[in-house]
Amino acid sequence: MVDIYTFTHGTLKCTVINDGNIMNRPTSIFFEGASPDELVVALAEHDLPDDGLNLPTNIMLVERDDQKILVDCGSDGEVAGYEAELGFLFAGLDEIGVSVDEITHVILTHGHFDHVLACADDDGTPKFPNATYIMAKDEWHYWVENRSQAPHNIAMRMKLQGIKDQLQLVDPDADILDGVRLMATPGHTLHHIAVIFESNGEILLCPIDVMDHPLQGQHPTWGANWDLDREQSIASRYKILQHAADTNALVHAFHFPFPGLGRFTKDGAIWQWTSAT
């Protein structure tokens, strides 16, 4: 059974599908920048375990008119070490009766395996045959030209090349569709993008990996140890938090506890997260 959560936002039909959960990662690697003492206090305040946290991967499907838009497509479940944990998007789509042929757009926010590897089969054939894949130009080049020999980076290069005929490379702040725009949020990766949907004046904001945990609203300078550029990731976190509060956005956070929906409200110099579910 795949965790699935459906809701409407303006005129959008939205479904969050859990692609799986990366289990039991050391707590401290989520919050680099925290001193050991600060972290002990913050974890105790929020009743969080100090001996490991899970990292859910929650994919957003937005349906409107004749469009079905995926924000990232997850892992293919074949990454060494994650076979049992990730790769449930396709079972989830089956459950809600949406076929891969019906997906019209796949927005790829950055080149990490848990967001992108399911874009194509192992031979490079696109898994969404009728979709336009949309990715920030510099992010695509970064990963395709990356020479890392790590298995998932080799697979990433091959798959990102595989989708080339269906790929639309864009600027990181582009308006990509009516009511759908990107926001440049570099740091986690060098050309990472967030995605913003607007419908009937209501904002749905997908910060993706600008934040991995709600606690970062209270501590925006704490970041994951897999953020590529720490200073930029902090600046992007402030930008997202301010935007979320200013627009009273419904936030869908890819890695927050399922389904990752809530709002950030400003509280002095920090932001408090309230889950919407």
- Of 61-69, 178-186, 203-211, 265-273, the segment contacting Zn ion by CB under 5 A is 203-211
Distance, C-alpha 58 to centroid of its chain: 7
Copy the structure tokens of residue 68: 């079905």
Minimum distance from CB of 139 to Zn ion (Å)? Answer: 13
Minimum distance from CB of 259 to Zn ion (Å)? Answer: 16
- Measured from the CB atom, the residue of 208 and 241 that comes closer to Zn ion is 208
- Measured from the CB atom, the residue of 63 and 85 that comes closer to Zn ion is 85
Q: Does 114 bind Zn ion (CB under 5 A)?
A: yes
The DSSP H or E segment spanning 238 is: helix 230-246
Copy the structure tokens of residue 205: 């904001």
Candidates 209, 217, 245, 271; binder of Zn ion (CB under 5 A) is 209
- Of 37-45, 82-90, 107-115, 116-124, the segment contacting Zn ion by CB under 5 A is 107-115
Which residue is closest to Zn ion by CB? 209
* CB-CB contact of 240 with 188 (8 Å): no
- Residue span 4-43 as binding mask against Zn ion, x where in contact by CB under 5 A, dash where not: ----------------------------------------
Q: Does 76 bind Zn ion (CB under 5 A)?
A: no
Given CA atoms 42, 43, 47, 53 in this order, what sign does their dihedral have? positive
Closest CA to 184 of 214, 244, 139: 139
**Cα 184 from Cα 136, distance rounded (Å):** 9
- Of 9-17, 77-85, 155-163, 205-213, the segment contacting Zn ion by CB under 5 A is 205-213
Closest CA to 75 of 255, 240, 261: 255
Residues in the interface with Zn ion (CB under 5 A) total 2
- Of 69-77, 101-109, 163-171, 202-210, the segment contacting Zn ion by CB under 5 A is 202-210
Closest CA to 46 of 60, 31, 32, 56: 31
* CB-CB contact of 254 with 193 (8 Å): no
Minimum distance from CB of 115 to Zn ion (Å)? Answer: 5
Minimum distance from CB of 202 to Zn ion (Å)? Answer: 25
- Measured from the CB atom, the residue of 31 and 64 that comes closer to Zn ion is 31
Q: Does 227 bind Zn ion (CB under 5 A)?
A: no
How far lies 18's CA from each of 34, 82, 162, 186, 245, in Å? 29, 14, 25, 25, 26
Minimum distance from CB of 194 to Zn ion (Å)? Answer: 13
Minimum distance from CB of 148 to Zn ion (Å)? Answer: 17
- Measured from the CB atom, the residue of 114 and 198 that comes closer to Zn ion is 114
Minimum distance from CB of 50 to Zn ion (Å)? Answer: 22
Do the bridges between strand 250-252 and strand 202-206 make them parallel or antiparallel, or are there none, so unpaired? parallel
Q: Residue 259, preceding bond cis, omega within 30 degrees?
A: yes
Torsions phi, psi of 113, nearest 5? -60, -35
Dmax over CA atoms of the chain, in Å, equals 52
**Residues forming the site for Zn ion (CB under 5 A):** 114, 209
